[in-house]
Amino acid sequence: MNTKRNLEYWVIPPKANAEFAAHMEDVLEVYSRPYDPKVPVLCMDEQPIQLVEETRPPIPAAREHPKRVDYEYKRAGVANVFMFAEPLACWREVMIRTHKTKLDWAIAMAMLLEGHYADCDKVIVVCDNLNTHTIGAFYEVFEPSRAREFVSRIEFHYTPKHGSWLNIAENELSCLTSQFVSGRRIGSEEELREETTAWHNEINATRHRLADENRRRTHQTNIHLP
């Protein structure tokens, strides 16, 4: 008798859970807001990446065979990937940190607030409710006056527990993993940083080019309308 059964792993939300429903509806309401470049909606998520070094140089691919990699490898520690994504602007950025502490998160957020979002009045942040994703983290890293400047420009919206799939940055992380990380051996934090930067730069350029083409097509269609 064949006892094999197919399994499909899924994220099953809790039933009749008021907290889950409240946070879910809050996040969905944020996503329904019209685009405002002065008050962007930024999603963020993070995940660890196992760094793996080769123990022997791979043999390059040839006509007779694909690239050959030795089955042995060396673990080289873990790096943390911070994914930031602004869906309505077709923009994302990957930051690599050695750790995933409050310090690392607050520094990454500060870099965005003083860099990419320096001219924004407020940034709406959608993230999961980890104990590192708090306004207090800024006060642990920066002087109180500077921490207050950061905190006053952020509006937090947390996904419900066991509902991180509502965070669009999680989808971006999934794309990064499947397109770039899976099946590869990345041996150092610097190599990971360089290649993830190249990944998000290429994706951003492609999405912006497609958005420009769609706007041109729409404009040309409107011109020819009677």
| Model pLDDT for residues 162-186, shown as the tens digit of each residue | 888 899 999 999 999 888 888 788 8
Convert the pLDDT of each residue in 124-137 to its tens digit: 999 998 889 999 99
d(CA 195, CA 193): 6
Mean pLDDT of 147-153: 97
The partner residues of 97 in beta bridges, in order of sequence, read 80
Convert the pLDDT of each residue in 73-102 to its tens digit: 788 899 999 999 999 998 999 999 999 899
Residue 194 has pLDDT above 90, yes or no: yes
Q: Give the β-pairing of 41-54 and 73-86.
A: antiparallel
Please report where in the chains the tokens 């709406």 appear, as a residue.
124
Please report where in the chains the tokens 């350029």 appear, as a residue.
205
Confidence of residue 193 (pLDDT cuts 50, 70, 90): very high
Dihedral, 91, 50, 10, 180 alpha carbons, nearest 10: 40
Give pTM, 2 decimals: 0.81
Mean pLDDT of 152-167: 91
Phi first, then psi, for residue 191 (nearest 5°) are -65, -40
Axis crossing angle, helix 102-114 with helix 144-152, rounded to the nearest 10? 70
Query: pLDDT at position 217, please?
Result: 65
If you average pLDDT over every residue of the chain, what do you get?
Answer: 87
Convert the pLDDT of each residue in 101-116 to its tens digit: 999 999 999 999 999 9
Please report where in the chains the tokens 């409107």 appear, as a residue.
222
Query: pLDDT at position 60, please?
Result: 86
Phi first, then psi, for residue 38 (nearest 5°) are -85, -20
